[in-house]
Amino acid sequence: MSGADLETLINTAALRAAKRDAKFISIEDVDEAKDKLMLGPARRNKVVRPETLRKTAFHEAGHTLVALLTKGAMPIYKTTILPRGQTAGVTYFLPEYKDEGNMTRGQIMAQLDVAMGGRVAEELIFGAEEVTTGAGSDMQSASSLARQFVMQFSMSQLGLSTYDRNSPPSPETQATIDREVKRILDVSSRVAPPLLC
């Protein structure tokens, strides 16, 4: 966080402490302030059906288990099914290497596997027809990372070429890129089931 971000975090935590008539800001105040700033306020009054909570719990547990059992995955900070902002639940990670800007091939693959864990857990528990839209943002993140893996990081079977707006791929190469991204995501989605069973 920048200095301004930290100031906002502490001010938000101080407001929470003041509402409790506390003399000091607690670590719980800071933690709640961080969650509020990152994901939005907790929607404690929102009525959530028990089956929705159950699906959310299995989804987040899928991310958590895959992260715990995958070499190179970021450490877990918190998993919750408390609705916040637009999320029904979330698994937080401690980004050990993401902030450094350098990730290894193994760390990227671990990140893809963890992203797939929520959807795969839903599918294993409830069946393919009952997978929820809650996995949508995970799939967007995984697809974006897989595309970077192929087009920018030169870590796939396509070799060392990179592509961007300044050097776009030919239509034939783009089709190959799309197939490679799909292959990477398919491989990653097959890693989670053995870990979750």
Q: Quick count: other Cβ atoms within 10 Å of Cβ 104?
A: 11
164 confidence band (pLDDT: 50, 70, 90): confident
Q: Find the radius of gyration of the CA atoms of the chain.
A: 20
Is 45 part of any domain? no
Q: Are residues 185 and 147 in the same domain?
A: yes
Mean pLDDT (the chain, rounded): 88
**Which are the catalytic amino acids?**
60
Among 94-98, 126-130, 153-157, name the most confident range.
Answer: 126-130
Q: Are residues 162 and 182 in the same domain?
A: yes
Q: Are residues 62 and 28 in the same domain?
A: no
Element of type H or E holding 91: strand 90-93
- Cβ atoms of 121 and 101 within 8 Å: the answer is no
Number of domains, the chain? 2
pTM for this model (two decimals)? 0.80
Domain around 29: 3-39
The tens digit of pLDDT for each residue in 74-119 reads 999 889 888 777 778 888 887 765 555 688 999 999 999 999 999 9
Q: How far is CA 75 from CA 6, 45, 56, 121, 148, in A?
A: 22, 31, 20, 19, 22
